[in-house]
Homo-oligomer: A and B are copies of this chain.
Amino acid sequence: MAANGRTQSRRRAQLSRDSILEAALTLTAEGEQVTFRALGGALGADPTAVYRHFRDKDELVRAAYDRIMEKARAEVDESSSWREQIRQLAILSWENSEQHPHIAVDAPILTTGGPGELGCIDLMLGCLRAAGLGDRDVVRFYGVIGSYILSISANISAQKLAAADQGTDINTAWLYDVSGIDATRYPNVAASRYELGELSNDDVYLTGIDVLLDAVEAAAQAEAPTVARARQR
């Protein structure tokens, strides 16, 4: 009867998988934890109402993370070189971990099985194939690079969360107390203490990616030394 043709009379809060996921991502973007109670508060509904749309928290965070991956995949510039695409994916994964730390934390544990994950896998496999790798090496390197990206970017965001809980600064994580080190017991640490103090998570992460991508190129050249460059795209 009323103008609203769809659903009206919302004495009850109206949820959906979509609205719940959106609320969850908003929560994490604000650095807050994803909890059923917080979710309920943000949605103006009873916390347990979420259970009508997701079997348990695991399924919820899976779906949320798949959505993140989907977005990341879409942001990759597919016209750039294979190497640049993987690099972009790595950086996007890093940024997503920073933006949604409380979800990214257990990303490496889970296999979403959703379109976002499949899309990312497909993209990376395509890139590695374009690099000139053979069937076997394509998936080998995919495994290494994929787990590297997932694990490390997630763990660094976990570090930041832990550091935020306390007062600790994150950059002191790699080497806390550079000065008070027993030089006789740990001579190498003492000798490198200056460089160790300058290590930052970002640098390490990106360095690792580049090292792995270099290895991909080397492997591709070893496989087909002459045609290696022809496959470029």
A residues in contact (CB < 8 Å) with B: 58, 106, 108-111, 113, 115, 118-119, 121-123, 125-126, 129, 135-136, 138-144, 147-148, 150-152, 154-155, 158-159, 162, 173-174, 176-177, 181, 185-189, 191-192, 195-196, 199, 203-205, 207-208, 211-212, 214-215, 218
Contacts and interface: CB of A to CB of B under 8 A. Distances in A.
Given A148-B152, A204-B147, A108 B139 contact: no
Contact of A144 (B111, B113, B119, B204): B204
Where chain A touches its partner, the secondary structure class is: helix
Nearest to A159: B109
A223 to B, nearest CB: 15
Contacts of A186: 118-119, 121-122
Nearest to A146: B204
Contact of A111 (B113, B125, B142, B176): B176
Contacts of A188: 121-123, 125-126, 129
